[in-house]
């Protein structure tokens, strides 16, 4: 499986009763396929995986696989802070038809580098699917060192990519230097997609794509085709929206944006709360400037 392009980190829409809104979710998935996203990533941070019931988690992956109909790959999120649960979730995602797995580093426990290596190795060895490691220290309180990832990629051939949300171009560069062509790096921060691609990343797992799938896909495509000036100009145009989508904790703003566009309800699940009144004008202006509302 080739990891390249814009992969949408899907939101999980809820209905007025707080349940997974399957109809809205299917509509969002079809919009992503039509909009040119290279793949879909359900049950990640943006999909509020930490607060989904097990059955909701299963249904989110199952519906995503059904609606894509094999047109684009589904990279199912299986992140948790218990290794046995991550292994169990990986097996289930594979049985549901996922094409790859997004494996979050364990949060809260704060394992050592050896613990991170053993956790990821345990998951990788229990599946035939490609594994995308998800490093986001701001949420997990641990950072996967490039040397640890290089060791893992060497020992587990199906560890194929990294969603890099560490926020450090130095670390990205070191990861690429140590891992070489056997591991693909995807940006985990929309505003850093273009800078990260300049040092060797091949795309993004994107929050922005929920709102602007065509534009996000075009940004990555332009850079990969060598049209760097056009890519930079598009980055500059999208940048205010990229920042507005993180004016509060993700996915609070992106769900509010989708609600402004009439695509789903805005409410996240507690402990997250709806977008504050003070932040709404900033987000609305960014959407209007791009003619998305």
Asked if residue 177 lies in contact with residue 149, where contact means CB atoms within 8 angstroms, the answer is: no
Chain centroid to CA 100: 13
Choosing from 134, 214, 230, 285, which is the catalytic residue?
Answer: 134
Choosing from 7, 25, 117, 163, which is the catalytic residue?
Answer: 163
Is 163 catalytic? The answer is yes
DSSP letter string over 170-234? HHHHHHHHHHGGGSEEEESSGGGHHHHHHTT--EEEESHHHH-HHHHHHHHHHHHTT-HHHHHHH
Preceding amide of 251 cis, omega within 30: yes
Cα(244)–Cα(44) distance, integer angstroms: 20
Residue positions counted in the chain: 293
Burial of 54 (0-12, 13-18, 19+ CB in 10 A): exposed
Asked if residue 220 lies in contact with residue 240, where contact means CB atoms within 8 angstroms, the answer is: no
Cα(84)–Cα(184) distance, integer angstroms: 26
By annotation, the residues acting in catalysis are: 134, 163
């Amino acid at each position: 499986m080739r990891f390249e392009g814009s992969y949408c980190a899907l939101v999980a829409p809820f209905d007025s009763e707080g349940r997974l809104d399957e109809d809205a979710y299917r509509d969002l998935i079809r919009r992503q396929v039509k909009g040119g996203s290279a793949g879909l990533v359900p049950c990640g941070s943006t999909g509020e995986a930490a607060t989904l019931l097990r059955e909701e988690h299963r249904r989110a992956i199952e519906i995503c696989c059904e609606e894509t109909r094999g047109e684009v790959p589904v990279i199912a999120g299986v992140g948790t802070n218990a290794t046995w649960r991550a292994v169990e979730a990986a097996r289930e995602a594979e049985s549901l038809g996922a094409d790859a797995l997004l494996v979050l580093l364990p949060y809260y426990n704060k394992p050592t580098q050896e613990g991170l290596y053993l956790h990821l190795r345990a998951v990788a060895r229990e599946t035939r699917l490609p594994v995308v490691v998800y490093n986001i220290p701001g949420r997990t309180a641990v950072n996967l060192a490039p040397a640890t990832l290089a060791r893992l990629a060497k020992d587990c051939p199906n560890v194929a990519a990294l969603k890099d949300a560490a926020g450090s171009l130095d670390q990205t560069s070191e990861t690429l230097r140590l891992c070489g062509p056997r591991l693909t790096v995807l940006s985990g921060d929309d505003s850093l997609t273009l800078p990260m691609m300049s040092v060797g990343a091949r795309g993004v797992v994107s929050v922005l794509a929920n709102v602007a799938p065509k534009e996000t896909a075009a940004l990555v495509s332009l850079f990969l085709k060598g049209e760097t000036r056009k890519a930079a100009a598009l980055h500059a145009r999208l940048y205010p929206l990229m920042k507005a989508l993180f004016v509060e904790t993700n996915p609070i703003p992106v769900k509010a944006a989708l609600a402004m566009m009439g695509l789903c309800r805005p409410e996240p699940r507690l402990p997250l709360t709806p977008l504050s009144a003070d932040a709404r004008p900033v987000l609305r202006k960014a959407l209007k400037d791009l003619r998305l509302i």
